Amino acid sequence: MEEFEQVDILLVEDNPHDAELTIRGLSNQKLANNITWVKDGAEALDYVFRRNAYAGRSDNGPRLILLDLKMPRVNGIEVTRAVKSDERTKRIPIVIMTSSKEESDIIESYNLGANSYIVKPLDFESLAEVARQAGFYWLAINRVVS
């Protein structure tokens, strides 16, 4: 496979501003070239399972999913359940990045197999730092595993 075809991170985020800030935070770390952004859970599932608009995609991955919880159509919890219950995709690390500090969200995410749960910090520096650390950590782990 070609190195540039590799998609490292799938960012699932309905809020374009949050997406932009996250991508900006990651791009500062030279990870932006390998990011794919989808706008909700349904699109994320289409992408991961190569359905509908993504039926013919030729690239590999993703190797990490950054996932918001509260989204229109299909929410992050449902995406986590679908990805983690499929034999082909269940080893892809999922990092939940959300505004919610609700205990029920945290517990359910971990129960479904999410690998990390990160509450988005309010300020940009912290957000960028968190995104960067999560990306590096889980990409590194995933390389070791594969």
Q: Which of 6, 7, 21, 118 binds other proteins (CB under 8 A)?
A: 21
By beta-carbon proximity to other proteins, the closer residue of 71 and 92 is: 71
Would you state the structure tokens that stand for residue 12, as one six-digit string?
Answer: 């699932």
Q: In terms of Cα–Cα distance, which of 11, 10, 5 is closest to 62? A: 10
Question: Which ranges of 4-123 would DSSP assign to H, the alpha helix?
Answer: 16-27, 41-48, 76-84, 103-111
Distance CA 18, CA 50 (A): 25
Q: Which of residues 27-86 bind other proteins (CB under 8 A)?
A: 69-70
Rg, C-alpha atoms of the chain: 14
Q: Which of residues 112-131 bind other proteins (CB under 8 A)?
A: 120-125, 127
132 near other proteins, judged by CB under 8 A:
no
Q: Which residue has the tokens 């690239």?
A: 59
Q: How far is the CB of 108 from other proteins (least distance, A)?
A: 12
Q: Which residues pair with 96 in a beta bridge?
A: 67, 117
By beta-carbon proximity to other proteins, the closer residue of 29 and 99 is: 99
Would you state the structure tokens that stand for residue 127, as one six-digit string?
Answer: 């957000």
Q: Which of 17, 56, 145, 146 binds other proteins (CB under 8 A)?
A: 17
98 near other proteins, judged by CB under 8 A:
yes
By beta-carbon proximity to other proteins, the closer residue of 51 and 70 is: 70
Kindly list the residues in this chain that would bind other proteins in the complex (CB under 8 A): 15, 17-18, 21, 24, 69-70, 98-103, 120-125, 127
